[in-house]
C-alpha cells in the first residue's frame, strides 16, 4: 500500500515496516484520536498471489489455488480463523503489557486487517550482532525478560512459533522486552487436504531456521518449542554466532556451543536443557 492511503476513513499509512509470506505490516496513524497516535496495521495477504479473489488463504491452502468452486467455502473458513485469531490477540494484549494490544480488526472484500499497538523502541537484533559475545548477566536478564512475556501466552495455551531477535522489542519507555508478531496465522494451523473429500487436517510449518526445533519443523509444535527458541536466543547472545551455523552432536542431535562462550555451569545446564533435541 502506498504511503498516505487511508483505510476506513480512520487509519492513514505512514510507512512500510516489513512484508513476508503471511502479509504486510505498516506504520499508520489513527486519525480519529487526539494527536493522531501511531499504530501498526497488518494486511493479511500472501505475497506474489496472482489471483485477487482469495488473497488470504491461498498461501495456506495450496490445493485450492485452482478450485474456483470452493471459493465461498474457503472465504468462510478464512473469516472464522481470522475472528479466532483476533480474539486471541485481544486477550493476550489485555492480559499483559509485554504483548502489543489489539485495537481493531476488520475485513475489506477478501482481505483482512489487524490494528495493533505500536511499540516504540528497537528489536534486539541490534544488540545481538554477529561476532559480539555478550555477558552472562546480560543474557540472564534477557532470558528473564523474554520468559516473562512468553508466560502469558503459554498460560493461554498459545504457542508463538517464531521467537527470534527480530520479534523481541526493547521498549524505549521502560527498557522491557515486548514479544511481537504472533502474526495472524501463527496461532492458526495450516490447513491441508486429506484423501477424504471435504476433510482437512491441521499442521503447522511456521518458524525460523536455527530457532525452530525439529518437532516444530515437522509440523507438531509444543509449548516447549518456544522454550527451545528462547534458549537459542540466549546462546546467540553468549556466542555471537547464528544458531543455524552451530554444529550438532552426531549421536544426540544436540547443539554444540559451550566451547564458544564464557559461561557458568549453572547457566550452561539451563540452556542445554532448553535446547535439547528431544522435547520430552
Only one residue has cell 554444529, namely 247
Question: Which DSSP helix (H) or strand (E) runs through 100?
Answer: none
CA dist 276 and 280 (Å) reads: 9
Selecting among 123, 162, 181, 226, the annotated active-site residue is: 162
Provide the β-strand partners of residue 248.
255
Angle at 128 between CA 122 and CA 133, to 5 degrees: 150
Phi, psi of 30 (to 5 degrees): -90, 110
Contact 120, 148 (CB under 8 A): no
162 included as an active-site residue: yes
Q: What is the 3-state secondary structure (H, E, C) of 200-269?
A: EEEECCCCCCCCCCHHHHCCCCCHHHHHHHHHHHHHHHHHCCCHHHCCECCCCCCECCHHHCCCCHHHHH
Grid coordinates of 200:
482437512
Question: What Cα–Cα distance (Å) separates residue 17 from each residue in 27, 108, 118, 181?
Answer: 6, 21, 11, 12
CA dist 45 and 24 (Å) reads: 7
SS3 call for 33: coil
- E strands, 31-184, where? 38-44, 102-108, 111-117, 121-123, 168-171, 177-179
Q: Just list the catalytic residues.
A: 162
Amino acid at each position: 500500500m502506498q504511503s498516505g492511503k487511508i483505510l476506513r476513513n480512520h487509519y492513514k499509512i505512514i510507512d512500510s515496516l516489513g512484508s513476508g509470506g503471511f502479509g504486510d505490516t505498516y506504520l499508520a496513524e489513527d486519525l480519529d484520536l487526539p494527536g493522531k497516535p501511531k499504530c501498526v496495521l497488518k494486511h493479511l495477504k500472501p505475497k506474489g498471489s496472482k489471483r485477487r479473489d482469495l488473497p488470504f488463504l491461498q498461501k495456506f491452502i495450496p490445493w485450492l489455488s485452482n478450485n474456483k468452486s470452493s471459493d465461498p467455502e474457503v472465504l468462510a473458513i478464512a473469516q472464522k480463523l481470522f475472528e479466532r485469531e483476533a480474539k486471541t490477540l485481544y486477550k493476550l494484549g489485555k492480559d499483559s503489557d509485554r504483548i502489543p494490544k489489539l485495537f481493531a480488526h476488520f475485513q475489506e472484500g477478501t482481505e483482512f486487517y489487524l490494528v495493533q499497538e505500536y511499540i516504540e523502541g528497537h528489536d534486539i537484533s541490534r544488540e545481538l550482532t554477529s561476532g559480539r559475545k555478550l555477558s552472562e548477566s546480560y543474557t540472564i536478564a534477557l532470558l528473564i525478560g523474554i520468559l516473562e512475556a512468553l508466560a502469558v501466552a503459554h498460560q493461554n495455551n498459545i504457542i508463538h512459533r517464531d521467537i527470534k531477535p527480530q520479534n523481541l522489542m526493547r521498549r524505549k519507555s521502560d527498557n522491557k522486552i515486548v514479544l511481537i508478531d504472533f502474526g495472524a496465522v501463527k496461532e492458526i494451523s495450516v490447513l491441508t487436504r486429506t484423501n477424504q473429500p471435504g476433510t482437512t487436517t491441521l499442521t503447522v510449518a511456521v518458524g525460523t531456521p536455527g530457532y525452530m526445533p525439529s518437532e516444530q519443523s515437522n509440523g507438531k509444535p509444543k509449548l516447549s518449542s518456544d522454550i527451545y527458541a528462547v534458549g537459542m536466543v540466549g546462546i546467540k547472545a553468549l556466542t555471537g554466532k547464528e544458531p543455524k551455523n552451530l554444529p550438532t552432536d552426531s549421536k544426540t542431535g544436540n547443539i554444540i556451543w559451550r566451547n564458544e562462550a564464557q559461561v557458568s555451569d549453572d547457566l550452561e545446564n539451563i540452556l542445554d536443557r532448553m535446547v535439547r533435541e528431544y522435547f520430552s
